[in-house]
Structure 1
Amino acid sequence: MGQAIQWLRSLFFVLFIYGFMAVWGLLFAPWAAVSRKGARAACKSYCKVVLWTARVMVGIRTEVRGTPPQDEVLIAAKHQSFLDILIIFDAVPWPKFIMKRELLWTPVIGLYAKRLGCVPIDRSKRGAALAKMVRDVAAEVAEPGQLIIYPQGTRVAPGDHRPYKSGPGVLYRELGQPCVPVATNVGLFWPRSGVMRRPGLGVVEFLDPILPGLSRTELTAELERVVEAKSNALMREAGFDPDAVH
């Protein structure tokens, strides 16, 4: 019975957050269309409402550990579900994402992604996509912001492993900025797919910055080492052994 009730709560929660996204996005659209501050205000307030609702409706509490960067940096984050996007967006002042190109054509999300300065990438054309990504990021470099990229390129379920891609290393070398790794365990409570949301403490942790000076391959290896180790530690803290999956 408890599982059935939690599933129903989760269903109502999912319906609410996406319905609210549409209403909130349309409400702020006139301001967002003419001002990045308007787009940022809409998205920041949306994150706060969803994080509060997640705690009240389905029992997911959230916590930010470490020091969220305030300056111009590259953020390379573990990605397990929509929840880590919300927490990171809420935690840093001017976030903008490297995102798959298809999202630009999504109602509401596409408008705000463009206004926030997010950088689309065509994952089907890897070599050309990396070159275009560097050009697009350079075009936005005058705008303030923390550029967020997911080194594994997609959401990865707890216990699964996907190799870290070269994108963060390319940007790290081209931008000459520190890279801030981010670990998480949120996929244990808010999975990458499906309706069910499970009560617990979802953590996003900002790790020590990696200063400029490494090669692309060195940066990729260091990111994988620190992000995977800390994410696994956070999952074990929550009672899940990522090694047991294999």
Structure 2
Amino acid sequence: MSKFIAALRSLLFVLWMAATVIPWAVFSLVASIFIRGTPLFWFTTFWLRIAITGCRFICGVRYQVQGMENLPDGPAILLPKHQSTWETFAFPTLMPRPLCYVFKRELLYIPFFGWAMARLDMVHIDRSKRTEAWSRVAEQGQRFMAQGNWVIMFPEGTRIARGQQGTYKTGGTRLAVATGASVVPIAVNSARCWPRKSFLVRPGLVTVSIGKPIAPAGRQADELMREVEAWIEAEMRRIDPEAYSTQ
């Protein structure tokens, strides 16, 4: 596909998201007056299905999920690889339970999208205040999991370029040790189609691979995260070998 066609399709996709997010965010804000919790989550995140569907039909981004049988029945903390906006949008549409994202509070200031997100059961933190941020994650994470939600944290903290590896931080495994919830490592090669900091979205197949849950009993947070890191990085080389061919 030529770069021009890819740019045109990407522009149409951006327009699709802009045209659909504004009315849906308004609907969600109004709905939040009457409903909260799980019903509001599914109502609000339906827009993410609209966005992912648009990404597929406008830009040609398909996906497959491997390992759905590995998802636990009880409390869980999802720890995915983070390469793109795609998985941020896709995970709530793929998982059987409401997700509680841990994210920087600046995202709440995004017009419409952030305003609607602020009405959901999420953990928004001030990264400049680490002690306060961790206390908020521990307290709210445990409370939301008790309500049946799964917590989701990107252990590398930010989007990582294809074929690269960031620093895996132990926030997610610290929460697991504190609460007893299992951690679920997830590999995703979304940067093949939607690279970070790129306007262009190219057609292709995104693979999401879900690992087996790891119980935190008797484990230290750093040791547990090293196991998560080892599984994700090995799995990334399996589902996207081209990105690591020169390593």
Normalization by structure 1: what TM-score? 0.90
Give the paired residue count. Answer: 242
- In the alignment, the residues of structure 2 paired with residue 108 and residue 71 of structure 1 have an alpha-carbon distance, to the nearest angstrom, of 33
Which of 199, 202, 220 is equivalent to 2:203? 199
| Aligned partner letter, 2:160 | V
**Contact in 2 for aligned 1:183/1:227 (Cα 8 Å):** yes
SS at match of 2:196: coil
- Segments of structure 1 that go 5 or more residues without pairing to the other structure are none
Instruction: Check if 1:81 corresponds to 2:84.
Output: yes
Which of 211, 216, 237 is equivalent to 2:221? 216
- In the alignment, the residues of structure 1 paired with residue 240 and residue 33 of structure 2 have an alpha-carbon distance, to the nearest angstrom, of 40
- What's the RMSD between the two structures over aligned residues? 1.9
SS at match of 2:124: strand
| Aligned partner letter, 2:234 | A
- In the alignment, the residues of structure 2 paired with residue 90 and residue 174 of structure 1 have an alpha-carbon distance, to the nearest angstrom, of 28
| Aligned partner letter, 1:218 | E
Residue 200 of structure 1: CA displacement? 0.5
Deviations 1:97-153 (A, max 9, x none): 011111123233334333321101222233332233212323434322010001011
Residue 175 of structure 1: CA displacement? 1.1
- In the alignment, the residues of structure 2 paired with residue 203 and residue 103 of structure 1 have an alpha-carbon distance, to the nearest angstrom, of 26
Structure 1 residues 181 and 33: alpha-carbon distance in aligned structure 2, compared to 1, 3 A threshold: farther
Instruction: Check if 1:115 corresponds to 2:115.
Output: no
**Contact in 2 for aligned 1:59/1:200 (Cα 8 Å):** yes
- In the alignment, the residues of structure 1 paired with residue 7 and residue 44 of structure 2 have an alpha-carbon distance, to the nearest angstrom, of 27
| Aligned partner letter, 2:107 | L
Which residues of 2 match residues 74-153 of structure 1 at below 5 A? Answer: 74-92=77-95, 93-153=97-157
**Contact in 2 for aligned 1:104/1:111 (Cα 8 Å):** yes
SS at match of 2:118: helix
Instruction: Check if 1:52 corresponds to 2:56.
Output: no
Structure 1 residues 193 and 39: alpha-carbon distance in aligned structure 2, compared to 1, 3 A threshold: farther
Structure 1 residues 38 and 140: alpha-carbon distance in aligned structure 2, compared to 1, 3 A threshold: closer
- In the alignment, the residues of structure 2 paired with residue 133 and residue 40 of structure 1 have an alpha-carbon distance, to the nearest angstrom, of 19
